[in-house]
Structure 1
Amino acid sequence: MSVTLQNIITAIHAKANIDNASGVIDNVSIDSRSQQNNNKTLFFALVGPNHDAHIYIEDLISKGVKNFVVNYIPEILNDKANFYVVDNTLAALQDFASYYRSLFDFPVIGITGSNGKTIVKEWLNFLLSPDFNIIRSPKSYNSQVGVPLSVIAINENHNLGIFEAGISTSGEMIHLQKIIRPSIGILTNIGTAHDEGFSDISHKIKEKLKLFSGVDILILNKNKTVEAFIKPEIKIFTWSTNDRTADVFYQKHTFEDHSILNITYREKSFQVRIPFTDEASAENSMHCILAMLYMKYSLETIVARVSELFPVEMRLKIKTGINNCTLIDDSYSSDFQSLKIALDFLENQKQHKKRTLILSDIFQSGLSNEELYARVSHLIVSHKISRVICIGEVISHFKYKFLNPVSFVSTEEFIAAFDSLEFANETILIKGSRQFEFEKIVSLLEEKTHETVLEINLNAISHNLNFFKSKLDPKTKLMVMVKAFGYGSGSYEIARLLAHHKIDYLGVAFADEGIELRKAGIDLPIMVLNPEMTSFPSIIQHYLEPEIYSLRGLKAFLKIAAEKNLDQYPVHIKINTGMNRLGFDAEMLPELIAVLKETKLVSIKSILSHLAESDNQEDKTFTNQQISDFDRLSKTITESLKINPIRHISNSSGISNFPHAQFDMVRLGIGLYGVSNDAEETKMLENVGTLKSVISQLRSIDPGETVGYNRRFSAKRKTKVATVPIGYADGISRLWGNGVGYVMINNQKAPIIGSICMDMLMADATEINCFEGNEVIIFGKDPTVTAIAEAIHTIPYEILTSISSRVKRVFYRE
């Protein structure tokens, strides 16, 4: 990219606060964390209901960024940079992308629908890449922000584009159409995703079809309902499995590990083998086949290439590696754009100073190899990569451009040398094109645990955080609780994400939790809510801030503070207002105040209390009395000591149900993880954790045969039993067994039968088409932890925090 500032000003209709508009921009950014931000970056300060990127501008200026598209100019920065003022920074980003797209003239495939967009895009990229230099959306960059960023990555050497577009409500697609301007359209499955944003299915169809207003051809599953809304001037190319009037007709025959598609097109019949058995993969394959037919590929080429399709991993995953390593697994993608995204993701993982990049040859960049690997080198330097392991003939030729390079011609050569490479105490980013089979490298580097994993969606964490922040007064501070191993979700990675979002405090239960966060490089203020007096020296050593809830505890801390010659060390005073668990009662306050008046060893950073039933919306009397008592008692302390500390009492439910009780700070806990006691609020939150396992074994039992300990289940019919390697030692309550609960296999409910064992459970999969090794969902979107908790008469907290540490946590970003 190389665009003059003058052209940008015109394209986005900006009022420029700049002396000289003759400069050139070669990078566009919306992410303040990116190490790719520099003096030729144009930063769009996006504003949403839950965020405002203007707060990052001062930091970005200090890092060398000079050009900003803004809604307003922060007062103290007026003469510190070049500002381009617009009414709406998102609209300006889209206008710029539309202008940039107009500079290029080549075929573009535009894809939309409810499901399958990313898979069809990735498969088309694989199928067509031998013949084109393709620019495509990275991962699932299909939103109002993702589409412009995808299109802005086009360069002059690309000759085919593949972009996906996703919408969640009316009025969005028209903006994406102006940016993508597809010549070939593909409409995938129309399902229930984002139904709440549309009045009915007809409304959704009409909105999605706006992407194709200017296409030469529209590829879709033949459907009378959809076709009724397609304008007559748009030419369609249809497929079907039941309507022989479609342009392409097919029938699917399923085998254990693959399917055969018998296809008829223009009176010609041919067979395609796909390595999948599910209906969705067959449909996605047909979209790709029709695109290839339209582009006049031979049947022989189509058959050969489609047979090599593969499962698409749409997420960057963080995994625990051998020898105290952290892995970032992006092993199926190695294009330049996704490398930039993965390196920015790596930047947020600060657990290890040492960073290794394992990288294969990069294809379809649209650049010469010399220019491509020069740019890769620049990225590697800016992200402070310690070591680069190059795999592939081309990248090995350019290894001299990298720091501390090691090169191998093939993955097999790397594997042969693995023992000599010494991986330990580092973060390893693994990025490889599909043909290099980097999953073999991931398998070598990944810590060996059993096949059950708890997947944590970092995007959902950000969404939920912003949802609750939107309920707060702008001046209200925010503490987020990461105690109990982040409510079972893992504390290090979540704490790093929270640090980026500039929260004010982290809260942990015990000192060792805070110490581990410090060792992982977390430098946010950390409050220890339940410190044991024996931990006070360690608390001071790692600059944690203890909650003080008794005179005994205060005097013990003051004694140690005196021994260490501390001055104004931050502590937090807890008042008991009715929880009757920890805290100073009202009659203790005179003695507390007297002790504090006589010392300068500590500084009262905050005064807090704890709500006992903030989730009770039917009778708020007790909670309102707690709030009133806290206000009165905390003022007694502040007025007596003439101090102005932070005051806080609200938890997740309190934020929503008692907005008048925000005081100076609130404490967000379970809400961050997508759990609320309010059904309507739950709809606004996103699921964070999905507990997954696999089918270890399938067996068939006859009527009268039993399953599990004490033979608690007896089959009444011929039953297919799926054994899953997860049990009560992993945190699955035995109360959820024997017909009470269920797991999900291939999107279908499989009732749990018999007693849940220590390491296994059994499910009835009689009505489900499944095989050994298939994925099993224990909880997530269905069943939710709330539903499980209700069924076994407990609370979601217990479900989440019970998940054993032997269950591997995998963090990912969509």
Structure 2
Amino acid sequence: MTTTEEIYHLYQQHPVISTDTRSIAPGSLFFALKGDKFDANTFAEKAIEAGAAYAIIDNPEYAKGDKFLLVEDVLTSLQDLARHHRKQLTIPVIGLTGTNGKTTTKELINAVLSQKFNTLATKGNLNNHIGVPLTILTIDSSHEMAVIEMGANHQKEIALLCSIAQPSHGMITNVGKAHLEGFGGVEGVKIGKGELYDFLNEDASRVAFINSDDNTLQEMQKTRSLQNVVYYGKTINNDNLVTGKLLENAPLLSFKWNDKKSSSYNVKSQLTGSYNLDNILAAVCIGTFFGLDSDEINAGIEGYQPKNNRSQIMQTASNTLICDFYNANPSSMFVAIENMDKVKADRKVVILGDMFEMGPESAVEHTAVIQKALAANVDERIFIGKDFSSQQTEVDNSNLINATFYLTAEDAIIGLKENPIKNATVLIKGSRGMALERLVELL
């Protein structure tokens, strides 16, 4: 069997990893990963033919010569290689997890830090047991800092990702109701996300950045007695490295922040959603901690343009759209609805799609979101999906004013064609599997 050290020696000569034969980089190392519906061992020869220098496989049947390296398990080999590479690095690595806001916060931190440092950050949401090692293996000698996003849908996953990324600094954005089925409820989410704090607490030199306004995070750090904590938040106190205040949400956010010297700075962002102030302040805090000046920090925040349908403003001929349909869970639904409650607009509409992976909590959580939307200061509410539709009878009919339920997105498309929405600010939010981007062209 080929050892990690032997593969690492080859990686130093061929520092590009490929996992898909449709996009083989010449001279790369091809890792033949298995999926639910495929076994990439069967594509190893094709990868070599397409230009890969070596293929790492775990089925001896496909070893066709010296360029085929046999290991016990390809995924484990990839993770071990990344773990070995990380041990060679001396740069700060910021590990980031949380229920909501991970990707936006990661992008904001990267936007700020890149004003001064050559940073590498997780691309998109490559934040799982495959994405994290692939990201670590793209760090080279030119990088001065890395921001690694870590996602999870069950316990022990963050612990695994920490063992690979080995963050020197870390933060949890928040802990809420998501992947309840895999985590086994909210307490399970807390345990799973807390695995990042557990890792940071193993070494006194590791730093945790914590939102001082978040009671759950405060409780989690106190139970562990974290040794090295840097605080940020909205409530003025002596513990915060930076403190911020929302100035305007119309619908783009303007805010003010102060540092320990009581210097004050006003900044206009390209983000919508008052809940994003916490994500912005995290980036301001981390930038301040790493020695960036206020001009560099503010330039990073002001220059960040949200994308990938996360808190993204889109102007159409008829409406202003708040596109936030990359994903959804009860926690993110609540803050998105609360944000719409506060947004200044003549007419407001919320379009909400089903939340996935809720397990036995699905009925209760979908009912709670319906009730939250019905109580919000908006003009029209549209609910899409079988989970929302099945809970319609659980809500007092007298409250279902200006509320429409569609069983499927296809039904909603027909409904929107028959009853178009015009001159409104429209929130579109739902789980990725609902594919609510199909509604955009009708709005």
TM-score interval (norm. to shorter): 0.5 to 0.7
- CA distance change for structure 1 residues 740 and 186 in 2, over 3 Å: closer, same or farther? closer
**1:206, distance to aligned residue in structure 2 (A):** 2.3
* AA of the residue aligned to 2:29: L
* AA of the residue aligned to 2:20: D
Match of 1:41 in 2: 28
Correspondence 1:239 to 2:239: no
Work out which structure has the larger RCO, using CA pairs closer than 8 Å and 6 or more positions apart in sequence: 2
**1:291, distance to aligned residue in structure 2 (A):** 0.5
Match of 2:169 in 1: 184
Matches within 5 A, 1:218-617: 218-222=208-212, 223-230=214-221, 231-242=224-235, 244=237, 246-247=239-240, 248-266=242-260, 268-275=262-269, 276-313=271-308
* AA of the residue aligned to 1:282: L
| 1:252–1:259 Cα contact (<8 Å) kept | yes
Match of 2:97 in 1: 112
**1:144, distance to aligned residue in structure 2 (A):** 0.7
| 1:42–1:68 Cα contact (<8 Å) kept | yes
| 2:251–2:273 Cα contact (<8 Å) kept | no
* Structure 2, gaps ≥5 residues long: 328-342, 349-376, 383-399, 407-411
**1:121, distance to aligned residue in structure 2 (A):** 1.9
Distance in 2 between the 1:221 and 1:23 partners? 39
Matches within 5 A, 1:116-135: 116-135=101-120
Distance in 1 between the 2:157 and 2:113 partners? 29
Partner of 1:292, secondary structure, is helix
Distance in 2 between the 1:286 and 1:208 partners? 20
Match of 2:371 in 1: none
Distance in 1 between the 2:181 and 2:16 partners? 36
Identity, in percent, stands at 22
* AA of the residue aligned to 1:758: E
Aligned residue pair count = 361
- CA distance change for structure 1 residues 784 and 31 in 2, over 3 Å: closer, same or farther? closer
* Structure 1, gaps ≥5 residues long: 13-20, 316-331, 333-438, 461-694, 701-718, 725-736, 744-751, 763-770, 786-802, 810-814
Distance in 2 between the 1:93 and 1:178 partners? 13
| 1:698–1:721 Cα contact (<8 Å) kept | no
Distance in 2 between the 1:221 and 1:210 partners? 17
- CA distance change for structure 1 residues 31 and 254 in 2, over 3 Å: closer, same or farther? same
| 2:111–2:301 Cα contact (<8 Å) kept | no
Partner of 1:102, secondary structure, is helix
Partner of 2:232, secondary structure, is strand
| 1:698–1:772 Cα contact (<8 Å) kept | yes
Distance in 2 between the 1:102 and 1:7 partners? 13
Distance in 2 between the 1:158 and 1:8 partners? 23
- CA distance change for structure 1 residues 740 and 107 in 2, over 3 Å: closer, same or farther? closer
Correspondence 1:72 to 2:63: no
**1:304, distance to aligned residue in structure 2 (A):** 4.8
Deviations 1:323-370 (A, max 9, x none): xxxxxxxxx9xxxxxxxxxxxxxxxxxxxxxxxxxxxxxxxxxxxxxx
Deviations 1:681-701 (A, max 9, x none): xxxxxxxxxxxxxx9x8459x
Q: Alignment partner for residue 18 of structure 2, among 17, 22, 29?
A: 29
Deviations 1:191-215 (A, max 9, x none): 2222322242432332243453445
| 2:211–2:217 Cα contact (<8 Å) kept | no
Q: Alignment partner for residue 760 of structure 1, among 420, 423, 432?
A: 420
| 1:114–1:193 Cα contact (<8 Å) kept | yes
Distance in 1 between the 2:28 and 2:433 partners? 45
Deviations 1:188-237 (A, max 9, x none): 12222223222424323322434534453211212443334434353111
Distance in 2 between the 1:265 and 1:95 partners? 41
| 1:151–1:180 Cα contact (<8 Å) kept | yes
Distance in 2 between the 1:22 and 1:143 partners? 21
**1:91, distance to aligned residue in structure 2 (A):** 1.2
TM-align CA RMSD: 4.5
| 2:115–2:300 Cα contact (<8 Å) kept | no
**1:451, distance to aligned residue in structure 2 (A):** 7.6
Larger radius of gyration: 1
| 1:66–1:82 Cα contact (<8 Å) kept | yes
With the length of structure 1 as denominator, give the TM-score of the two structures: 0.39
Distance in 1 between the 2:246 and 2:28 partners? 50
| 1:113–1:208 Cα contact (<8 Å) kept | no
Deviations 1:287-342 (A, max 9, x none): 01111221233345434543443323379xxxxxxxxxxxxxxxx9xxxxxxxxxx
- CA distance change for structure 1 residues 757 and 171 in 2, over 3 Å: closer, same or farther? closer
| 1:272–1:306 Cα contact (<8 Å) kept | no
Deviations 1:712-740 (A, max 9, x none): xxxxxxx864699xxxxxxxxxxxx9856
Partner of 1:268, secondary structure, is coil
| 2:102–2:173 Cα contact (<8 Å) kept | yes
Distance in 2 between the 1:168 and 1:210 partners? 18
Correspondence 1:741 to 2:404: yes
Matches within 5 A, 1:80-91: 80-91=65-76
| 1:205–1:229 Cα contact (<8 Å) kept | no
- CA distance change for structure 1 residues 772 and 274 in 2, over 3 Å: closer, same or farther? farther
Deviations 1:97-137 (A, max 9, x none): 11122222212222111222221222222222232111221
Q: Alignment partner for residue 62 of structure 1, among 49, 56, 70?
A: 49
* AA of the residue aligned to 2:192: K
Match of 2:200 in 1: 212
Partner of 1:285, secondary structure, is helix
* AA of the residue aligned to 2:180: D
